[in-house]
């Protein structure tokens, strides 16, 4: 073998090694594109190629209900178990598990959904339980759906105005929900979804505060940062239910202090704005002992930890309007742009009217 042949072989070997490492680096970079990178306050909320977090949530709901109505129960099982394990969140910190629970537990439109839509939803969830009798998730879904189906019959009006026929439907559906959720396996009773559903069921059926508190404590022991378990108990402690003046505020103050740090501040803010939705405008601030500076700090902390979110900006903006903090509201409307969230504003016209109002410099 002459020198030229040896050199040629060495060069070919070097080129082969370089090509291999180039391919390896390309594959590594490609894999990183699937990893969600942390956002900063300066990160744009979206670009032309991406969906906003509001659009992502809508698609999430649509896909889950599509899988349910197409009876793709194994896909739902897989996703539910994955979300309970990974504790995945949308941008802004909204738990995907909570939205999964909501999607399988409510017909689209919830209490305002037509009867035919509700019947289809209940039939599909019940079929899930019949075809998968050992499925904990199916039983949890059916129990939650029955609770919401009961409230769809009752409506959200004052008790004296509820039609007696609707009261009967309400009670029948709650009784069926109770049968479903109480006979669930021990494994099911050690999930955060069961605890949250039992809080809602117990309050709806008028169970004692002691029992409802036990469900709350069990839920917090399972998932200390799951906001829905705190919201359910704060709702229970409102004067219109089981509480007295100052009870729910004390509960959330104590809970946020127990968690401590930035997550404690986020929890305080989150539960406050969620409870504010049970009041009209500024009544939330005039009727409750809440700290606006702490609420604002929690929103800012949430953005730092979990990234920018149009959904949370809308919540923050609406609460700023209720508080008459119009300077802050103007800044938030500017950041929101055209991305209004129907969960917070009754109509796009209401959103526009509020934006015009605060921009007039009142």
CATH topology of domain 53-218: 1.25.40
Tens-place pLDDT, residues 323-356: 999 999 999 999 999 999 999 999 999 999 999 9
Q: Return the SS3 of 95.
A: strand
Alpha helices in the chain (DSSP H): 3-32, 53-69, 73-86, 96-105, 115-131, 136-154, 164-182, 192-205, 209-222, 227-236, 247-259, 261-276, 283-287, 292-306, 310-323, 326-336, 348-359
Residue with tokens 């108990």: 233
Alpha-carbon distances, residue 126 vs 43, 104, 142, 347 (angstroms): 44, 11, 6, 34
CA distance 289 to 66: 43
- List all residues 6 or more positions away from 43 whose beta carbon is below 8 Å from its beta carbon: 307, 308
- Classify residue 296 by burial, with Cβ atoms within 10 Å: 0-12, 13-18, 19+: middle
CA distance 101 to 147: 12
Question: CA angle, corner 307, sides to 46 and 279, nearest 5?
Answer: 100
Q: Flag whether pLDDT at 168 surpasses 50.
A: yes
Segment 123-128 long-range contacts (CB within 8 Å, at least 24 positions apart)? 124/68, 124/69, 124/71, 125/68, 127/71, 128/68, 128/71, 128/73, 128/76
CA distance 164 to 110: 21
313 closest CA partner among 297, 327, 299, 323:
299
Tens-place pLDDT, residues 255-310: 999 999 999 999 999 999 999 999 998 999 999 999 999 999 999 999 999 999 99
- Cα diameter, the chain: 103
Listed range (2-11, 75-84, 172-181) with the worst mean pLDDT: 2-11
> How many beta carbons lie within 10 A of that of residue 9, not counting itself?
11
Per-domain residue ranges of the chain: 53-218
For residues 236 and 243, is the Cβ–Cβ distance under 8 A?
yes
Q: Flag whether pLDDT at 22 surpasses 70.
A: no
Q: Flag whether pLDDT at 104 surpasses 50.
A: yes
Tens-place pLDDT, residues 216-256: 999 999 999 999 999 999 999 999 999 999 999 999 999 99
């Amino acid at each position: 073998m002459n020198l030229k042949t040896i050199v040629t072989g060495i060069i070919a070997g070097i080129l082969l090694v370089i090509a291999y490492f180039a391919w390896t680096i390309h594959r590594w970079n490609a894999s990183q594109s699937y990893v969600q990178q942390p956002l900063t306050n300066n990160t744009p909320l979206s670009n032309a190629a991406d969906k906003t977090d509001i659009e992502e949530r809508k698609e999430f709901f649509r896909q889950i209900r599509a899988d349910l109505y197409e009876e793709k129960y194994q896909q739902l099982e897989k996703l539910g178990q994955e979300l309970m394990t990974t504790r995945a969140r949308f941008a802004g910190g909204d738990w995907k598990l909570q939205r999964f629970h909501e999607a399988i537990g409510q017909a689209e439109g919830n209490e305002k959904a037509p009867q035919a839509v509700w019947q289809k939803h209940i039939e599909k969830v019940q079929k899930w339980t019949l075809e998968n009798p050992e499925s904990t998730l199916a039983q949890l879904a059916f129990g939650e759906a029955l609770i919401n189906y009961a409230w769809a019959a009752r409506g959200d009006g004052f008790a004296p105005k509820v039609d007696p026929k609707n009261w009967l439907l309400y009670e029948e559906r709650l009784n069926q929900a109770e049968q479903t959720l109480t006979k669930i396996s021990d494994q099911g009773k050690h999930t955060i979804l069961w605890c949250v559903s039992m809080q809602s069921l117990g309050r709806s059926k008028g169970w004692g505060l002691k029992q409802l508190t036990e469900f709350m404590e069990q839920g917090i022991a399972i998932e200390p940062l799951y906001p829905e378990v705190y919201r359910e108990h704060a709702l229970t402690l409102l004067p219109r239910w089981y509480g007295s003046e100052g009870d729910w505020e004390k509960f959330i103050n104590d809970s946020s202090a127990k968690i401590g740090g930035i997550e404690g501040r986020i929890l305080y803010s989150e539960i406050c704005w969620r409870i504010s939705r049970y009041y009209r405008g500024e009544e939330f601030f005039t009727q409750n002992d809440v700290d606006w500076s702490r609420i604002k700090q929690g929103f800012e902390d949430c953005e730092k930890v979990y990234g920018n979110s149009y959904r949370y900006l809308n919540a923050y903006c609406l609460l700023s309007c209720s508080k008459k903090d119009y300077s802050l509201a103007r800044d938030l409307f500017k950041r929101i742009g055209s991305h209004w969230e129907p969960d917070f504003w009754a109509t796009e016209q209401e959103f526009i009217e509020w934006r015009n109002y605060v921009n007039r410099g009142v």
